[in-house]
Amino acid sequence: MIGSFRVLIADTSPDERTEFGNMTVWEENGLEIAACVSNAAETIKQCKTGNIDLVLCFNKPPVLTAPEIMAQVRRTAGDIPFIIISPSDDSEYMRECFLLGAVDYLTLPVSETRLASAVERAKKQMKVSVIDYEYKRAADEFFSAVEFPDKSDKFVSELKSFIMDSSKITCTTEYAADKFGFNKDYFGRLFKAKVGMTFVEFYKRFRVCYAERLLRSGRYKVREVSEMLGFASVDYFTTVFKKITGKKPSDLKKY
């Protein structure tokens, strides 16, 4: 399903994995079951791939101990939303899971209506999580590809930190200069000397790299990516994108 978010079901019971995997709540909410696993190690491994957007995790110690899995995933794979399902009402496990950021903690039997309510809340977190993940990956990819005059220069590491911390805004030269503590003219000259291009060109190229990752994920339309990245119009976004990549945004397919 193009554009869908990917769900991992972690449960020791094959029958329950099949039952929950066949529920209509997933397709109705634009989600697809990406994988089903039966133990903690496989759950964590799948999350590390970057291809999982939501985990439906049964709490069945010692094979599946939800709080331990959530904590490990947070450390190694980022803030992937979790919906926990427990065979019994266990307040201590529930408390630990909520402290770790669980979207919901449901007790069997779970109706599709109840699960749908939890999924609806999870979707908001999924969108933020996916965007943050793609932004960070784009920054790592872009900085690795840029041929800086001196990659070991402190300015380069400070620039990467600045980009990493600016995911929620569209940066201008004035804004960047202010963050670095310089006036615009001096910052412009310094940036060109340290990076080999103007800040405007650098940032434009980075945004296109980020746009490529969002488009290849298959989750977003060209118009949505254009708006997310702060371009004035889809036409301008398409022009910039094609100039830098040689392709139109609509040419990209889900990998």
Mean pLDDT across the chain, nearest whole number?
A: 92
Same domain, 100 and 111: yes
Measure the CA–CA gap between 132 and 244, rounded to whole angstroms.
23
2 has pLDDT over 60: no
Tell me 64's DSSP state.
B
Same domain, 125 and 136: no
Q: Please, what is the angle between helix 173-180 and helix 184-195, to 10°?
A: 90
Q: What is the CA radius of gyration of the chain?
A: 21
Same domain, 193 and 100: no
Same domain, 134 and 123: no
Same domain, 116 and 150: no
* Sole residue written with tokens 């529920």: 23
| CATH number assigned to the domain comprising residue 27 | 3.40.50.2300
Helix (H) or strand (E) holding 10: strand 5-10
Residue 51 is predicted with a pLDDT of 85
Measure the CA–CA gap between 197 and 79, rounded to whole angstroms.
35
Q: Tell me which residue of 49, 58, 12, 54 sits closest to 32, measured CA to CA.
A: 54
Q: Choose one of 103, 129, 155: the last residue of a domain.
A: 129
- Domain tally for the chain? 2
244 has pLDDT over 50: yes
Same domain, 207 and 223: yes
CB 2 within 8 A of CB 20: no
CB 248 within 8 A of CB 241: yes
Query: Taking the alpha carbons of 101, 105, 111, 113 in that order, is the dihedral positive or negative?
Result: negative
Output the pTM of the full model. Answer: 0.69
Q: Which amino acid is at 107?
A: T
Q: Choose one of 74, 108, 129: the last residue of a domain.
A: 129
Same domain, 125 and 191: no
Instruction: Give the model confidence (pLDDT) of 42-87 as tens digits.
Output: 999 999 988 899 999 999 999 999 999 999 999 988 889 999 999 9
Q: Choose one of 96, 129, 162: the last residue of a domain.
A: 129
> What residue numbers bound the domain in which 37 lies?
5-129
| CATH number assigned to the domain comprising residue 212 | 1.10.10.60
